[in-house]
Structure 1
C-alpha cells in the first residue's frame, strides 16, 4: 500500500510540474533564474569573505547549504525554449547555443550540482583548507557554464 501511495504521489507531483511549466511566462522563468543566480553569487561571496577574512564555520556551512539547495532545486525547468531572448529583471544573457547543446548543458549542470553537494559536505567539517579547495572547484563549474552559455 505504501508503494502505491508513493507512486500516486510522484504521479501527482509530476503532473503539477508539467502544468506549472506549461503555464509559466518566459519573463517569469528568466526572473526566477536571475534571482537564483543572484542568490548563488551572494552565498559564494559569503564563503569567499570568510575564507579571506575571519572564518566563521556556521556562516560558511549555511552558505554552502544554500548553494547546494539551489543546485538541487530543479532549475532546469526555468530554461524554457525561447528564454534565450527577452528580459526578467534585466535582459537575459543566455546564449541560444544552450538549446542546441542540451547534452553539454546537462553535463555542466550535473558537474555544478556534484561540486555544490561536495562543498556542502566539506563546509560542515569546518576544515578551512578543504573548504577552500572545494570552493575553488565549485567556482570552476560555474565558470565553465558561463564560458559556454552566457553572453558577456
Structure 2
C-alpha cells in the first residue's frame, strides 16, 4: 500500500458537541485533515454526546476529533467515551480533543482515554503527524 493510500484510509470525524457555537477551529482542522489526504466527516454544530457516538460508530471512523471551547469538556467528553465503550468502539478509535482546556483537565481527559489534547496555536502539521502515527488501522 502506498503512503497516499494509507493516508486516505484514515477516516476522521471532526465533532462539535454541546452548545458550543464556535466552529472556526473545527473547520480549519477538517480542511487540514482533508488536505493531508484523510477522509473527513464534519458533524456540524450543537450535537449531543450520543449523536457524536452514533456518527462515529456508523461512519466507522479511526479518529474522533472533538472540538470544544465551551468549558464543558469535563462533562461531555466522558459521555462520548462511555458511549463508544457501549458500542465496543472505544479501543478502535483515536480520540483527540481540541480547544481551550486547562492543564489539570488535560491530564484527567487523558486518564479517561483521550489520546491527546491540542490547544490553540498548535501547528497543523503536529496534529496531522500525530494522527498518522497513532490512528488505529481498520
TM-score (ref. length: structure 1): 0.29
TM-score (ref. length: structure 2): 0.31
User: Which of 1 and 2 has greater Rg?
Assistant: 1
Q: Give the structure with the larger helix fraction.
A: 1
Q: Give the structure with the larger strand fraction.
A: 2
